[in-house]
Structure 1
Amino acid sequence: MIAKRIFGLLSLVSMISLLWMASNNPLDKKANYGRLIVERSKTAVTMETENPFTTNFSKIPNSNRSLLMTTASISANTDVMNYKRAAVMMTYLHNITLKFPTRIDEFFSNVAGIFSNPWSHDVNNMELFRLFYKNETKKNFYDSVMLTQRNTVNTSYGGIELPKESLLPRPPYKSCSVVGSSGILLGSKCGRLIDEKDFVFRFNLASIAGFEEDVGRKTNMTTMNPSILTRFGMLASASNRTEFSRSKLADQEGLIWTPMTNRYINRTLDAIELRNDSHMTLVIGNMNHFNENAELWKKYGLIRTKRLRPTTGFYFVSCAVHLCSEVHLYGFWPFTTSLDGRDIPAHYYDDIIITKYHDASHEIKLLLNMHRLGLLKFHIENCETGNVTYVPGRPVRAVSAAATNGTKKVRKIIKKIIKKVYRKKIKVTQGKNDQEGPN
């Protein structure tokens, strides 16, 4: 009897051990590879990450060579070590992002500290970042960022013929500007520096005319969120298309990347054709690739929850790091106050309701830490003087005054809808009671 109990206990211990080993198997697709690598290379990580401003993950020593890799495609020993270093770097990026303060005054103070240190471009870290993406997704941004006949079985989409291959110029580009739409660009005088870069990304058909001194003029690719069409009646009529062409396409050029469904593609093409001198080409975003990248960031804890997805801006920052030798970010600031205490609107060209669908505060932490690792340069300074001024103690509002007014309007509309639904329910209930008659 005792022997049976001992045997059963040993079997239970063996089962628990096997389960533990399976849960920590680096070959398991759901395993946190970066965490495992860091745990097995603590000495290397500690040595190389004491000073985040001088971190160079390509110099992590070749210790613990018996570490299992997560991909069978890497065979050469040097590639194995580079992938290990890349995973360590991504884990470090995750860890220092989590350590970023959440209190806004501490956050601003931390940001001021980052910009008090000189920035340097780290080619080695960029190569590791690209290697990490390549081996996790087995794809590259050049071939995958838009739908083509090479990456889909279809030759057309929404009635338009897909290009045979990517319409992007062949990378690498020497330098790129990725221009967000934050109001922090107002008065920045960054236009000349933005236009000097070889390739310029912009977002959601952001207006340029009248803001050239601050945001530049050059555009090689801009995105278009289909939700923007709601302001123009979903382009259902000729007058809608004319108004859209006049107000949103007047100062656009280059590639227009959109994750649009079939229904509105031809309407958008009609609006583009209204510009006789048009130098625009509509391309369809490859949402499979977008979602794969979102899942990759979530897997490594860099996007925090399943409900939230990365912004299109964050996706194209990743794209730029792959396509460009040097990346410069402008207009990425999801706050209504600058470091020097100025009030700034959500967008430099209009007022819009701020949504919490994207994890903007977490994304900016990631981008700032990518700046620290030399993967990109994050600009919030006045480009004429090069100065970043920090004025502590200024309260930061969650939304701008205009956004608050817009939120109030939305709330009123929602209340009206609820009242209408509630009244209908009352009428239905009363009708049933009348049919049933008194008890």
Structure 2
Amino acid sequence: MIDSAQFVIRCNLPPLKNSYEKHVGIKTDLVTANPSILLEKYGALNGRRRPFVESLRSYGNSLLLLPAFSFSLNTPVCLRAVYTIEDFESPIRPVFFNPDYLQNLDLFWRSQGLRAVRLTTGIMMTSLALELCDNVHLYGFWPFSNHPHKLYALTNHYYDDKRAAKTEFHAMPAEFDLLLRLHSQGVLKLHLGDCQTGEK
């Protein structure tokens, strides 16, 4: 279902290979890179940079959205990512958020009752999609630590064992409540069921 979409946005450099593709697809038109991933997984790109470039291969020539100008602390590592992409001649194409857009987005969601130190990448990408697309479908937006029906423990991402995001920065349950309201109003479609592979 994801691969059949006209435009696919993926958040925070998720792996698509190693049997994940049967659950999440592989098509990517835009992928985001959270600076914390660049810092923790790729050593802020201060040392060996090839692993970072190789990790981008599965996204082909998609757009890579870097929050270089959201906070001044993010600018150096995001620019190193751009220089690395250029130096290794990766086909991926870096793009940036306009800081005014991010500020206005924060003001808008605050006007809707959302109180968070920082908006999540998920709500930012949802907002962008709602502005650009006729039909918006969201997958993987479940901010709670247990399965909704079977109650077993869930990880924060499908590809790692991290339990929860940094709650001091994000208000994920509050964001989810807003997304659920938009789903109920028919503005977007939240897909909350288990992964469907198409296999019988």
Q: Which bin holds the TM-score, normalised by the shorter protein?
A: 0.7 to 0.9
- Give the secondary-structure state (helix, strand or coil) at the position aligned to 2:8: strand
- SS of structure 2 residue aligned to 1:345: coil
- C-alpha displacement of 1:221: 0.5
Deviates more, 1:220-229 or 1:375-384: 375-384
Offset, 1:328: 0.5
Partner of 1:199 in structure 2?
A: 7
Question: What SS does structure 2 have at the residue aligned with 1:214?
Answer: helix
Q: Which amino acid aligns with 1:268?
A: A
Q: 1:316 to 1:361 in 2, by over 3 A?
A: same
Rounded Cα–Cα distance in structure 2 between residues aligned with 1:351 and 1:286: 33
What residue is the counterpart of 1:363 in the other structure?
A: 175
1:335 aligned residue: 144
Partner of 1:293: 105
SS for the counterpart of 1:257 is strand
Q: Compute the displacement of 1:268 (Å).
A: 1.2
For the residues of structure 1 that align with 2:196 and 2:157, how far apart are their CA atoms? 21
Other-structure match for 1:354? 165
- 1:244 shift after superposition: 2.1
Q: Deviations over 1:293-322 (max 9, x none)?
A: 111221232x13xx5332121021121112
Paired with 1:266 and 1:315, the residues of 2 have a C-alpha distance of 21
Q: What one-letter code is carried by the residue in structure 2 that aligns with 1:272?
A: I
2:149 aligned counterpart, secondary structure: coil
Aligned twin of 2:66? 258
How far apart, in 2, do the equivalents of 1:310 and 1:348 lie? Answer: 21
Asked if the contact 1:235/1:267 (under 8 Å) is kept, the reply is yes
Partners of 1:292 and 1:257 in 2: how far apart?
Answer: 18
Question: What is the Cα deviation at residue 340 of structure 1?
Answer: 2.5
Is the 2:9–2:30 Cα contact (8 Å) retained in structure 1?
yes
1:127-153 Cα shifts (integer Å, max 9, x gaps): xxxxxxxxxxxxxxxxxxxxxxxxxxx
Report whether the alignment pairs 1:326 with 2:120: no
1:255, CA displacement in angstroms? 0.5
> Are the equivalent residues in 2 in contact too, given 1:256–1:280 (CA < 8 A)?
yes
> Would the aligned equivalents of 1:371 and 1:377 in 2 still touch at CA under 8 Å?
yes
Matches of 1:360 and 1:265 in 2, distance apart?
Answer: 24
Query: Partner letter of residue 355 of structure 1?
Result: K
Match of 1:311 among 106, 120, 135: 120
2:27–2:59 Cα contact (<8 Å) kept: no
Q: Structure 1 counterpart of 2:106, which letter? A: A
Q: In the alignment, which of 205, 208, 212 is matched to residue 16 of structure 2?
A: 208
1:268 matches 2:81: yes
Give the letter for the 1:267 counterpart: R
Aligned pairs for 1:79-94 (under 5 A) are: none
Q: 1:385 to 1:255 in 2, by over 3 A?
A: closer
Q: Which letter does structure 1 place at the counterpart of 2:24?
A: V
What is the aligned-residue RMSD (CA, Å)? 2.2
For structure 1, list consecutive stretches of 5 or more residues without a partner in the other structure: 1-192, 387-439
Contact 2:31 2:64 in 1 (8 A): yes
Distance in 2 (alpha carbons) for counterparts of 1:233 and 1:310: 24
Supply the AA of the counterpart residue of 2:185: L
What is the CA–CA distance in structure 2 between the aligned matches of 1:331 and 1:262, rounded to whole Å? 28
Q: Is the 8 A contact 1:242 1:274 kept in 2?
A: no
Residue 274 to residue 385, structure 1, CA distance change in 2 (3 Å): closer
Distance change >3 Å, CA 378–CA 372, structure 1 → 2: same
